[in-house]
Homo-oligomer: A and B are copies of this chain.
């Protein structure tokens, strides 16, 4: 099969990750062009992986007939417009999450995807993680019976700066959005209601900036299951990423990945490795696998594994969670969208 020609908009950290994956691990595709508003970044990325073309203007990429599919890895506020432009230009699109912080804008992206018939995949990479995806598979294979309880723990190793927290849109949309998508993935069902608790225990300046750094959100799913997510911006022992699904036939739960399986027994106890600390190290393979799945969907005209519905609902739920926190009451998802 002919290699798929890919263009990457945005040459920052995640753009680099995808360029590296495609170059080294996905022979079915190649990166033919990269862009970045800072041309130097695009040039460096192009050089690093022998990418033939680069530009500071993403429209150059979108108008390039050689580019068949576009990865939108630019800053969040630009995701939607670039995706729309790319689809209108006939390209298939992989868009990092969140698609946008405005529901209306996401709906506009959705509309264009429908009108143009282009593939549109959203970058919820954790669905492709070797641990979480296996739990998801067990659910879909029916090994756990009817899903009754979904639990997700997601804790960062270090808090962001208070400035970042203030400008991030808040923990629910900046951090927990991944978990909202994971919850729907694991439950196999949409969320219909949320109740959000949140507080600032890690860094008081985050609280002063109007955000929370420690949070628990409970979920009601359309299929009758219930769930809970807990987040912290700081775990002393590293990046804590665990999920658990409890069903009528049993439970599947995963543990964190460490650097080794070694356990050291001394007079002080039996000590094993901490969880991997850095999200790129922890989730590296999942970034490769989501892009591989996108390329396969394009090349075989198959369905993308994570569509715009996931992109939409994750933001809707995050907004419902924020409303729940603000008004201190359970909030129906339909209050935000679809009511």
Contact = CB atoms under 8 A, between A and B. Distances in A.
Nearest to A131: B260
Q: How many copies does the complex hold?
A: 4
A235 B247 CA distance: 8
Given A224-B201, A230-B228, A269-B274, A252 B246 contact: no
A262 B266 contact: no
A236 B250 contact: yes
Question: Which of A250, A275, A329 has the most C-beta atoms of chain B within 10 angstroms of its own C-beta?
Answer: A250
A251 to B, nearest CB: 5
Interface string A234-255: 1111101000001011111111
Given A218-B218, A224-B199, A271-B271, A264 B143 contact: yes
A260 B131 CA distance: 5
Interface residues of A, number: 72
A285 to B, nearest CB: 11
Contacts of A263: 252-255, 272
Given A261-B256, A328-B330, A329-B329, A232 B269 contact: no
A250 B232 contact: no
Contacts of A249: 236, 266-267
Given A151-B230, A228-B218, A262 B252 contact: yes
A264 B252 contact: yes
A153 B199 CA distance: 22
Given A235-B246, A253-B265, 18 more contacts: A23-B24, A130-B260, A131-B261, A145-B236, A148-B201, A148-B232, A149-B214, A202-B248, A216-B226, A236-B248, A237-B266, A238-B265, A253-B262, A256-B261, A257-B261, A258-B270, A270-B271, A271-B272
